[in-house]
Structure 1
Amino acid sequence: MTSLSQIQNNNSPELDIYGITNALAPELIRFKSAEIPYSGKLLPGGSNEILSRLCIPVDVILGDLYLEAGDYANAACNYYDFLFKNKIFSRNSISSFSPKEHLYANIPRDFGGVTFGSGTRSWSSWISSLSTVLSPFDATMDTGILTYVPMASTSLMGYTSELSILFGYNPYYLNSHGGSFNKLSAEEYDSVFVKKQIVPSDAYNFIADSTDYYYQTNNPTNPQMSVMKGMGDMRARSRVGSYSLNNVKYEILGTYVQESPYVFLYRPTTIWLHLAEALNRMGYPDAAFAILKDGITDNMKGYSYVREETWNLLTTTLPFCSEDGRSEQSTVFSGSGTNHNYGIHRHGCSDNYGTSGDKSLYRMTDEVVKQIVALKKSFGEEITFTAVDRVADSIRIDDEIKNVLNDESLDEETKAEKLAELNARMNKLLKEKASLGNYDIRDVINAVEDILCDEYAMEFAFEGNRFADLMRLARNKNGKGSGEFVGSPASYGSNFGGRWLAKKLAFKNPVKNLEIESNWYLPFN
């Protein structure tokens, strides 16, 4: 539709997300093989904006359609097609910030890269800025913004946006008045901040502040992984800045602090986290967690928390790690070299090594337990979890191994076959223990979904996705999609998704009951 009259006179049927997907997906599939238009071309007028980034790739649209409709397998396949074909990887980008004086005491002395004494004590001297992740001017598709809506820097060049003003930063005013907060008078501060409407919520600050920061010690003879409590997620520190004038604190958000504010639609991490959401609901929560922790690479086969069935998925159905995949995309999915896939959680919660590998204290089972404890605290007796004693199972297998070893009636060939089978069972069980802990996989899937929910908040804060993400996750929990692992465990009770969403947004004191799905949407008329 290209005109208001078309909309006013339109007699198209009203469709829900499932009907929309069924109607649009077959039409879009026809264009899957089409290249993104305008490759390598820039917008006219001498600007640096890349024209192809005004287009949303068809595979991404299909992936998001299927994800919204709960068709997780098709969503994952379309995300794979886009990520693999275009070599889109999660970069080794880490948020920087200069800590306040009261935070210096929390920086441990074994934290690599920090100079004490007469040297400068600033993390920004050794880690990359978050702004490199958001840069719209990079010519390659592995960084920055995949798709965005450009806005003019002045009204002489076209339509301007008030987004940055709503976030507490007026680039048009500042550019014409020296360009610095430090040069503004009290009256000019009012001109910059008077229209600010968007500030960090208490819920966002809680997630950011309660997140652990993982790092590798700088002991050269015995480097170990460690964890620093209380520092929180550095993405929040990078985004939220404050300025004081006459003892009044002004806070601004750096999401749209640019001379020309852009509306970000897709970044590489958007696609990777959406893939993680789909993989989790397909029954592969360890693959979802790997996207946060290590990145999907050939190294995953050796990680203790990656189950056999997950490795098989990543070498067959979604062959990021197949032999062909490793040779074709060796610099991206091999896990070696500078430009390979990294875990997304390191963007705000790690140095270069703190979340990676089996030595890291950032572990799937620990993070799942944190979410389960939080759920229990929030819902109390409303929900119960299913315990699976995998330790007892491993003891039973171990007893069977001892019995076979001591069984003198068995010939060596038979004994070897039985031991091989038992060792395979034990290895599978140990992988499940490192991945699922002592919980049923459905409880783990729900917990990993909550981990992803928090990562969405930290990675995409203030980019306009939050309520849509919460609604989709609530629908996931209510089981309106397809597949074996749709919905929440029966022990969570009916309409768990609606109850979960209502608790998530209770701090806003909504006037509508958000447990009712129809209240999640604006009225049609």
Structure 2
Amino acid sequence: MKNRSFISIFAILFAVTFTASSCDDMLTPELKRYSENYAQDSVYSAFGILKSLQNVGSRSVLLDAARSDLSTTGIYTSDSIKSIADFENPEDGDNKLLNAADYYHIINSCNFYMARVDTLLEKNGVPEMKREYAQIQAIRAWTYLQLVRFYGSVPFITEPVATTEQATYLEKNAPRVNKTNLADMLLEAGLYRAYELQKQYGMPNYGEINNGYSRYTTLRMFVPIQLVLGDAYLMQNQYQKAAETYYDYLTDTKIGSPNDRNEVFKVGYETNYRDGQIAGYTLRSNDWAECMKFNTDEQLFVTIGAANSTMGKMLTDVAQTFGFKTSSTVSGSSGSVSVEPNESYQQILPSKNYLSLNEQQHYCKWESQNGVETIIYFDDLADGRLYGTAPEYEFTRGEKSRIIDKYAIGSMLYSSTSWGASSNFFSMQYHITLYRKALLYLRFAEAINRMGFPQIAFGVLKDGLWRQTFPTLDYKTIDGNKYYINKKDTLGIFLPKKDEAGNVIVDSLGVAVLDTCLFADGYAADTTLIQRNVPYLSSEPKAYAGGMYYVTLDEMVRAEKYKFLSEFWTKDLWNNQELESGNFRAGIHSRGCGNTGGHQDTVYTYAKMVAKKVAANRARLNGLPYQSQVELENRLHIGDMLLTESAVLPDSVAAQYADVTRITDDEIINAVEDLIIDECALETAFEGHRFTDLLRFADHKTDAGMNGNDWFAWKMARRNNSATDDASMYDAGIYAKMQDDTYKFFQLPKKK
């Protein structure tokens, strides 16, 4: 293996690689609708490419999970996993999880397909080939996205490779694609044309396949182009283009309708209690763990495994690596996979960092009875998603350990007698989720936050984006020398205006005139302007819970310029009147922390959480102990008011905060980004995104003038630390390695 050259990547690509599925394979399409040879050839080629995705889908999950700050290794961890987890920089091909050839096999299959397909052909007037061509472009783009995530910089090949000579030439001369040019090169190679075709004709749908256990729609086995392109734009720090692309997908599909979208933001766990004491937890049909199942609209892009080897490739390696022994049974043409926790299989476990992050969350239970509102926080419960991601299990030796069960979901996550009790039955998930709705909304929040809209981005986490969760933005035409006043500013903080003598200015009704963020004192300076359109917030959010009361007039006015933001409060697509009449739905954070929306959760608020993250970052930069970090956090806000550079403090408290360094706009955006990073961990842990998510966020920070590389190294070096440990505590060895790109990316094989 040590003598392998880069050309070995193409070892399986020298011949034409239109990989037709075996007639006995689950990925053999039903061709009743495709009697012509061209259609049969095309569909077999497409399904052969889907079959190749099986080889890289589960591997992408394991490669990321092994390196994540959310995971650690154990006594049964194999050398292959251990070398990756410890960043020993194993060479491609020397580790069973590292084989770039599998990715290039998909790419070459796509290249051959696109070189041969005739997109002008139709079947009964239906342009099937155009749909399929667009999707093959999307799959090739997705595959390059994975290569750049894991290898950093790779050859960009868009022509079919059929000979050794051709492969040798491309090894030396093919252009390289990396995070800085990925979107541009994909678009130039045909992805934009594919996007136009997808917009016009939709996605391919070849009905269902039977994996031996159940039937699965093929529609979810294809990747929407907007998701790939949006992720590529994020890699290039092109935030507006990313947000536009994600929003285009939201409005292009059912995901945008209120009824469907409710599934994304359902409160994850309902807590039953008596006399204020926990009596137990109940797994609901709308429970967060259901999100990982195939038959929910949460799934956007998956790869399917067979129920037994006679039906095709079985995708059991992820469940096995996380600690499950699997066995397959066959009965005629049917089969099933059973799973059983076994500590000797457990190679990747939740890290102390991940468990501590969950424990830092507060579960909020809000209710109203007979007009009396009650808020209860179950501080010992932690984030409810922990029990759906890594429940405790008592192994045969009598020892309890948390086991990652996202790919073998436990059917009883809770009991009536103990906290987060062990699941006693697990069921195999036959698919690997490659993209789901919550991830899409988190990426959208990531993009708009870096565009300069941190309050709305936080709203994705806390409240969800509906018309009813936004305040109402209106305009009033006023005389140029007068000042229109709303009764209350967006945070409910009264800032009375004063004249030069220090007297409070009142209106004709004797009500104190209040300041807004867009105007200065009292009267307009330019009296030559007879009239002007003045924006104001005419009402608070109509959502029953209170909605995004923290969104300011300034942010609303700036957001109005962008369709992908303003349409949330102007387009009927986002109108959900249920929110006005009862306690319905909130943001993604509610999936694990209950009633987080609006005024109901007084812990998870914009001001408090931003202050928390600003303090944490200053503690990291200045080496503050954790206790000092907490003290600083409490002094960076007063109620719902952040101590920003523009904040005006009441005279009664101004002196108490004179020594506090005010929060800058850049710090706010960075803080909200850190909250999104936490939410990514809580929601999508062990799904194949975390390590490369952190790399991308580090690039955002560097692009904004911070030392993103140092932040990334520190973040990774804290994988075995608690959130309450001093910022100066971290693994120095990992910290040093993570400063070097050699250890961040896997290395393609080189000629020896």
Does the TM-score normalized on the shorter chain lie above 0.5? yes
Contact 1:91 1:342 in 2 (8 A): no
- 2:324 is equivalent to residue 169 of structure 1: yes
Q: Deviations over 1:360-394 (max 9, x none)?
A: 31211100111122223333269999963544278
Cα distance in 1, alignment partners of residues 671 and 302 from structure 2: 32
Cα distance in 2, alignment partners of residues 7 and 281 from structure 1: 41
Find the residue that maps to 2:347 and give its secondary structure: coil
User: What is the match of residue 472 of structure 1?
Assistant: 696
CA drift at 1:127? 7.7
- 2:477 is equivalent to residue 371 of structure 1: no
Find the residue that maps to 1:296 and give its secondary structure: coil
CA drift at 1:438? 5.4
Letter in 2 for 1:247: G
- CA 1:320 to 1:337, structure 2 compared with 1: closer, same or farther past 3 Å? farther
Contact 1:214 1:227 in 2 (8 A): yes
User: What is the match of residue 208 of structure 1?
Assistant: 358
Which residues of structure 1 form unaligned runs of 5+?
Answer: 98-111, 182-188, 396-436, 480-485, 489-495
- 2:539 is equivalent to residue 297 of structure 1: no
- CA 1:85 to 1:121, structure 2 compared with 1: closer, same or farther past 3 Å? same
Contact 2:613 2:674 in 1 (8 A): yes
- CA 1:40 to 1:155, structure 2 compared with 1: closer, same or farther past 3 Å? closer
Alignment of 1:147-166 (within 5 A): 147-161=301-315, 162-166=317-321
Letter in 2 for 1:38: P
Contact 2:464 2:587 in 1 (8 A): yes
User: What is the match of residue 424 of structure 1?
Assistant: none
Contact 1:66 1:75 in 2 (8 A): yes
CA drift at 1:152? 1.1
Alignment of 1:327-476 (within 5 A): 327-331=572-576, 335=579, 342-350=586-594, 354-361=595-602, 362-380=604-622, 388-392=644-648, 439-476=663-700
Find the residue that maps to 2:180 and give its secondary structure: helix
Find the residue that maps to 1:49 and give its secondary structure: strand
TM-score (norm: length of structure 2) = 0.53
Letter in 1 for 2:590: R
CA drift at 1:199? 0.6
Which has the greater radius of gyration? 2
Letter in 1 for 2:108: T
User: What is the match of residue 520 of structure 1?
Assistant: 744
Aligned positions, number = 440
Contact 1:145 1:267 in 2 (8 A): yes
Contact 2:386 2:682 in 1 (8 A): yes
Contact 2:293 2:429 in 1 (8 A): no
Cα distance in 2, alignment partners of residues 9 and 77 from structure 1: 38
CA drift at 1:217? 3.9
- CA 1:136 to 1:9, structure 2 compared with 1: closer, same or farther past 3 Å? farther
Cα distance in 1, alignment partners of residues 609 and 385 from structure 2: 19
Letter in 2 for 1:345: H
CA drift at 1:137? 1.7
- CA 1:325 to 1:146, structure 2 compared with 1: closer, same or farther past 3 Å? farther
Contact 2:453 2:559 in 1 (8 A): no
More helix by share: 1
Cα distance in 1, alignment partners of residues 336 and 238 from structure 2: 52
Find the residue that maps to 1:215 and give its secondary structure: strand
User: What is the match of residue 398 of structure 1?
Assistant: none
Letter in 2 for 1:348: G
Which residues of structure 2 form unaligned runs of 5+?
Answer: 1-106, 110-160, 256-260, 409-426, 472-539, 541-547, 637-641, 652-660, 720-730
Contact 2:362 2:593 in 1 (8 A): yes
Cα distance in 1, alignment partners of residues 251 and 584 from structure 2: 12
- CA 1:290 to 1:313, structure 2 compared with 1: closer, same or farther past 3 Å? same
Cα distance in 2, alignment partners of residues 76 and 505 from structure 1: 27
Find the residue that maps to 1:471 and give its secondary structure: helix
Alignment of 1:112-191 (within 5 A): 113-115=272-274, 121-124=279-282, 128-138=286-296, 143-161=297-315, 162-172=317-327
- CA 1:231 to 1:120, structure 2 compared with 1: closer, same or farther past 3 Å? closer
Contact 1:152 1:159 in 2 (8 A): yes
CA drift at 1:359? 4.2
Contact 2:211 2:305 in 1 (8 A): no
Find the residue that maps to 1:73 and give its secondary structure: helix
CA drift at 1:135? 1.8
Letter in 1 for 2:400: K
RMSD: 3.6
Cα distance in 2, alignment partners of residues 125 and 134 from structure 1: 14
Specify which of 336, 346, 365 is matched with residue 196 of structure 1: 346
Cα distance in 1, alignment partners of residues 591 and 168 from structure 2: 46
More strand by share: 2
User: Which stretch has the larger CA shift, 65-74 or 295-304?
Assistant: 295-304
Q: Deviations over 1:430-456 (max 9, x none)?
A: xxxxxxx95211001111111111111
TM-score (norm: length of structure 1) = 0.74
